[in-house]
Structure 1
Amino acid sequence: MDDREVVSGADAYPPIDRAELPDDTVALARALIGKLVVRALPEGIVSGRIVETEAYIVGDAAGHGFRGMTPRNRSMFLERGHAYVYLAYGISMMLNVSSEAAGIGTGVLIRALEPLDGIEIMRANRGLDRLRDLTRGPGRLAQALRIDRSLDGLDLCRQGPLWLAHGESEAGEIGASVRIGITKDADRPLRFYVRGNPFVSGTKLLNR
């Protein structure tokens, strides 16, 4: 789908203005909780409410920007509010949001969504029916929303094939824990999630 094409229903989700996004990575990771990821597909609009994020900050050995810019991670160095999409372990796509000023390699990983629109499309994309498992985890949500490397570098603050929008309700109480599935800088409490939400991807240290 061309960036200029807008499918029916897209106008119900005006994109977030970049000025509304904090220019600090940790603050952005918290601020994105409760916001929407909206995907325009030929079949219709697919969307979900963000219920879990992870921050990857300046000087973070677990971050892809730690050793500088490469052809693979250059979207992470864009001004805040751009998509950084990469393939993890040769298996799963991961959706991240660039998080600070241009030239700073930081980002926020979108770890889990609560499905809203286009649930049947998500089910077809995932090849399963169970609602709880459609977008619970970064690889799952990318598959459910058909997110791939063609969206890498996309401006998420403008309407197109993928963007960020405001949610209609309060996100709920936000908890924090260490991040999942990393070995470097693994003790930093940079994972944020909605307490008690069934679509959060894991249960590690959720009592914080």
Structure 2
Amino acid sequence: MNKTQRFKRAAKPKRPISTSEAEDDVVDHETQPTHRSKTLSIRVKPKPKPKSNSFPIPDLSFDRMTILSPEFCMIDALDLAPRLLGKHLRRDDVVLRITEVEAYRPNDSACHGRFGITARTAPVFGRGGHAYVYLCYGLHKMLNVVADKEGVGAAVLIRSCAPISGLDTIQHRRGQKTDKPVLLTGPGKIGQALGLSTEWSNHCLYAPGGLELLDGPEPEKILIGPRVGIEYALPEHVNALWRFAIADTPWISSPKNTLRPP
């Protein structure tokens, strides 16, 4: 999501200082009480910028960013999951960059679709490109992007994100005044940062307004590993490498030691 200064004494300039030079230098004038006034100029080495925890991305105008089409999501969840890395979620003034996801597929003993179509799971069987928000432990609102065609029953869980804009709003919703990765590394934190409730389940992510799924640059490197917290599932699904994360970013949830390059 350093303070050393080196001072150099400089002679009084013989020519006017341009505006650009004045902006680059910090000048402190001391007038000595002598017969002839002398001016001392002190050049201050610029302070290095503090290290940021945010994942570096190009300077983008989010007002002009493309909302992803439903066709983008209408593919197998295992294919959609890594494609979502580097994309953005936007609601109000909050924009988050997706940094970690998990795929859940049909005939997957860890997928909610295994229960069939119920009042809770119906959105999972909807058309790709919609939201599936469910309540975990009666507290955490977990955001998923529905994958594949209607009736399939698959989704991608958003596990972690990096804040791009709206940090004050995120901190207020999270009740945590920090810009460190702990702010958004965990699926329950994402739902809270976006101000979601289960009423957002089945919300269309490709229509302007509300909650939107926006395009973004593809990461150069990714990591893969087994999903988290699904010990109840069959061994073949517990060990499946269906968790994906952007490499070289601190905005990843625990455990990190189970992730590796593909």
TM-score (norm 2): 0.71
Residue identity opposite 2:101 in structure 1? T
Of 80, 83, 96, 1:31 maps to: 83
Q: Which has the higher contact order (CA 8 A, sep 6+)?
A: 1
Q: Does 1:116 align with 2:164?
A: yes
**Match of residue 259 from structure 2:** 206
**Match of residue 248 from structure 2:** 196
Q: Structure 1: which 5+ runs fail to align? A: 1-8
**Match of residue 44 from structure 2:** none
- Where 1:20 maps in the other structure, the secondary structure is helix
Looking at structure 1, the residues matched to 257 and 118 of structure 2 have their Cα atoms a distance apart, in angstroms, of: 32
- 1:63-91 per-position Cα deviation (integer Å, ceiling 9, x unaligned): 00013111001001111110000000111
Question: In the TM superposition, what are the counterparts of 1:39-188 in structure 2 within 5 Å?
Answer: 39-40=91-92, 45-131=93-179, 132-167=181-216, 169-183=217-231, 184=233, 185-188=237-240
- 1:87-124 per-position Cα deviation (integer Å, ceiling 9, x unaligned): 00111000001101101111000001011010111011
- Answer whether contact 1:77 1:103 (CA < 8 A) is retained: yes
- Where 1:97 maps in the other structure, the secondary structure is strand
- Answer whether contact 1:177 1:204 (CA < 8 A) is retained: no
**Match of residue 3 from structure 1:** none
Deviation at 1:10, TM superposition (A): 6.7
Looking at structure 2, the residues matched to 76 and 35 of structure 1 have their Cα atoms a distance apart, in angstroms, of: 20
Q: 1:74 to 1:22 in 2, by over 3 A?
A: closer
Residue identity opposite 2:251 in structure 1? F
Matched pairs, number: 195
Q: Does 1:17 align with 2:69?
A: yes
- Answer whether contact 1:22 1:31 (CA < 8 A) is retained: no
- 1:117-154 per-position Cα deviation (integer Å, ceiling 9, x unaligned): 10111011111122222211100111111111121101
Looking at structure 2, the residues matched to 81 and 67 of structure 1 have their Cα atoms a distance apart, in angstroms, of: 21
Q: Structure 2: which 5+ runs fail to align? A: 1-60
Report % sequence identity: 35
Residue identity opposite 1:182 in structure 2? I
Deviation at 1:50, TM superposition (A): 0.5
Deviation at 1:11, TM superposition (A): 3.4
Looking at structure 2, the residues matched to 113 and 47 of structure 1 have their Cα atoms a distance apart, in angstroms, of: 10
- Answer whether contact 1:112 1:141 (CA < 8 A) is retained: yes
Residue identity opposite 1:29 in structure 2? A
Looking at structure 2, the residues matched to 37 and 143 of structure 1 have their Cα atoms a distance apart, in angstroms, of: 13
Over the residues paired in the alignment, what is the CA RMSD in angstroms? 1.5
Give the number of the structure whose alpha-carbon radius of gyration is greater.
2
